Structure 1
Amino acid sequence: MNPKIKICGLKYPENIRDILALQPDYIGFIFHPTSKRFIEQLDAEWVAQLQGVKKTGVFVNDDIHKVTSSLNQYRFQAVQLHGNEPPAYCAALKDLGVETIKAFGIDNMFNWAQLADYEDVVNYYMFDTQTQKYGGSGKSFDWKLLREYPSDKPFFLSGGISADNIRQALQLNDHRLYALDLNSKFETEPGMKDIELLKKTIQTIGR
Structure 2
Amino acid sequence: MRPKLKICGMRFPANIEEVVLLKPDYLGFIFYEQSKRYIADLSPQFLTSLQGVNKVGVFVNDSIDRIKSAVDSYGLQAIQLHGDESPAFIESLKELEVSLIKAFGVSKCFDWSRLDAYDALVDYFLFDTKSENYGGTGKGFDWSLLENYTLDKPFFLSGGLSPDNVEEALSLADHRLYAIDVNSRFEKSPGLKDLSLLQSVFCR
- Alignment correspondent of 2:54: 54
Task: Give the 5 Å matches for 1:99-138.
Answer: 99-138=99-138
TM-score after normalising by structure 2: 0.98
- Alignment correspondent of 2:180: 180
Q: By how many angstroms is 1:92 displaced?
A: 1.9
Distance 2:125 2:109 in 1: 18
Q: Deviations over 1:41-98 (max 9, x none)?
A: 1011111111110000000000111100011000100000000000111122233211
Superposed CA RMSD: 0.8
- Alignment correspondent of 2:166: 166
Distance 2:118 2:104 in 1: 11
Q: Deviations over 1:4-26 (max 9, x none)?
A: 00000000000000000000000
Amino acid at match of 2:95: D
- Alignment correspondent of 1:199: 199
3-state SS of paired residue (2:92): helix
Distance 1:129 1:37 in 2: 18
Structure 1 unaligned regions, length at least 5: none
Task: Give the 5 Å matches for 1:27-38.
Answer: 27-38=27-38
TM-score after normalising by structure 1: 0.97
Q: By how many angstroms is 1:203 displaced?
A: 2.4
Distance 2:159 2:61 in 1: 19
Amino acid at match of 1:118: Y
Instruction: Please list every run of at least 4 consecutive aligned residues from structure 1 whose deviation after the TM superposition is greater than 2 angstroms.
Output: none
How many percent identity over aligned positions? 52
Distance 2:90 2:151 in 1: 18
Amino acid at match of 1:88: A
* Conservation of the 8 A alpha-carbon contact between 1:27 and 1:56: yes
Structure 2 unaligned regions, length at least 5: none
* Conservation of the 8 A alpha-carbon contact between 1:57 and 1:78: yes
- Alignment correspondent of 2:148: 148
Q: Deviations over 1:149-172 (max 9, x none)?
A: 010100000010011001211232
3-state SS of paired residue (1:173): coil
Amino acid at match of 1:180: I
- Alignment correspondent of 2:78: 78
- Aligned residue-pair number: 204
